[in-house]
Amino acid sequence: MSATGLPFDDIRALIAQMPTPDMRARHDARHRQEELTKPSGSLGRLEDIAEWMASWQGRAPSVNRPVVAVFAANHGIAAKGVSAYPPEVTQAMVENFAAGGAAINQICASFDLGLKVFDLALDYPTDDISEGPAFSEKDCAATMAFGMECLADQPDLLCIGEMGIGNTAVAAALFAALFGGTAADWVGPGTGHDAAGLERKRAVVQQAIDLHRPHFGNPLEVLRRLGGREIAAMCGAILGARMQRVPVIVDGYVATAAAAVLQALDPSALDHCLFGHVSAEPGHQAALARMGKVPLLALGMRLGEGTGAALAAAMVKAAVACHNGMATFAQAQVPNRD
């Protein structure tokens, strides 16, 4: 904790010290791309990705220790029926992750990605945000710090995902707080809802928005009041990765809400992040557009668990493999244009 005794001061201090991209490494990567046996620019976003990786890693890019970090938490607001599934599913899915039975397990196995699941006090949901703040500043800051634990094994690429029954409602409230608009603008079906369920979800989220509106100018206070533990942890993880210059792939709607808090604190705070996909949750495209981020994939997914980010990680692996493994025109004696 900082000298002032306010838990968020440590977070603000980190934000003030964020490293910037290594422009020399970026330049070197661009130079190499121009020499590889392909027309300049013909690998499209794969070329951008190789340069982006180089600029944060500060060297020729590599993906040797990719990690998918999945943060799981429960939400008081779930008691209001904002999800089609009961809150017990969060714990059951954490066990499913451990047993290897979830979608994210199969995707990680397909692409040799490490998987780390962090369950965040599942027996202690945050308070119902439609009735008061989610948690204390101290608890929120501690959860952000805990989120940084996913950097412990020094991954060279970090995918950020989540699991938490009720958390698309929480993310919708966060987006409304950060970007304006009503619950109707940001609430979608999440895991699936009938018309009545969707209406109920909207009403509860609108209640939360109305209750906390006086604090919308303060992003960390917004996180404390409207966020869940997994969102605070993802926020910490993304910031922690930045401090260590680890490139991040952000997953879907809920993970993007965590990222949006950081961007509200500093417009450059997400420069080390790639947005893995745009999900089928309607508010995700709107949020990404507000944030000026272009997602890599659009596969109509809406599962969470880091699944969209992990699929994008496969594209990053391919981009880096092309960058490092391709021959140059000179090496392969391929005639270049001109």
| Active site residue ranges | 305
Instruction: Give the SS3 label for residue 70.
Output: strand
Q: Which of 24, 27, 31, 45 binds a copy of itself (CB under 8 A)?
A: 45
Q: Which of 86, 132, 180, 217 binds a copy of itself (CB under 8 A)?
A: 86
* Contact of 240 with 147, CB cutoff 8 Å: yes
Regarding 38 and contact with a copy of itself (CB under 8 A), the answer is yes
In angstroms, rounded to a whole number, what is the distance separating the alpha carbons of residues 84 and 168?
A: 11
Regarding 327 and contact with a copy of itself (CB under 8 A), the answer is yes
Regarding 13 and contact with a copy of itself (CB under 8 A), the answer is no
Q: How many helices (H) and strands (E) does the chain have?
A: 15, 5
Q: Which of 35, 79, 127, 191 binds a copy of itself (CB under 8 A)?
A: 191
The helix or strand, by DSSP H or E, that contains position 203, with its residue range, turns out to be helix 195-212
Regarding 331 and contact with a copy of itself (CB under 8 A), the answer is yes
**Residue 161 vs 219, nearer CB to a copy of itself:** 161
Mind giving me the DSSP string for 239-285?
HHHHHTT--EEE-SHHHHHHHHHHHHH-TTTTTTEEE-B--SSHHHH
Per-residue contact flags (x/-) with a copy of itself for residues 59 to 78, judged by CB under 8 A: --------------------
Q: Which of 3, 16, 154, 337 binds a copy of itself (CB under 8 A)?
A: 337
In angstroms, rounded to a whole number, what is the distance separating the alpha carbons of residues 150 and 222?
A: 24
* Contact of 140 with 224, CB cutoff 8 Å: yes
Regarding 43 and contact with a copy of itself (CB under 8 A), the answer is yes
**Residue 121 vs 314, nearer CB to a copy of itself:** 314
Regarding 285 and contact with a copy of itself (CB under 8 A), the answer is no
Q: Taking phi first (over 0 means left), then psi (-120 to 50 degrees means alpha), and beta for anything else, what does residue 121 get?
A: left
How far, in Å, are 25, 31, 46, 292, 334 from residue 36 at the CA level? 17, 9, 13, 30, 10
Give the CA radius of gyration of the chain: 20
Nearest Cα neighbor of 78 from 162, 164, 186 is 164
Q: Stretches 217-225, 242-250, 262-270, 325-333: which one binds a copy of itself (CB under 8 A)?
A: 325-333
Regarding 33 and contact with a copy of itself (CB under 8 A), the answer is no
DSSP 44: T
Q: Stretches 1-9, 116-124, 149-157, 308-316: which one binds a copy of itself (CB under 8 A)?
A: 308-316
Q: Which of 81, 280, 286, 289 binds a copy of itself (CB under 8 A)?
A: 280
Both tokens assigned to 192: 């699936």
Shortest CB 197 distance to a copy of itself, Å: 10
Q: Stretches 133-141, 201-209, 258-266, 292-300: which one binds a copy of itself (CB under 8 A)?
A: 292-300
Both tokens assigned to 66: 């990719």
Residues that bind a copy of itself (CB under 8 A): 36-46, 84-86, 88-89, 92-93, 95-96, 99-103, 105-107, 109-111, 191-192, 280, 296-303, 307, 311, 314-315, 317-318, 321-322, 324-327, 331-337
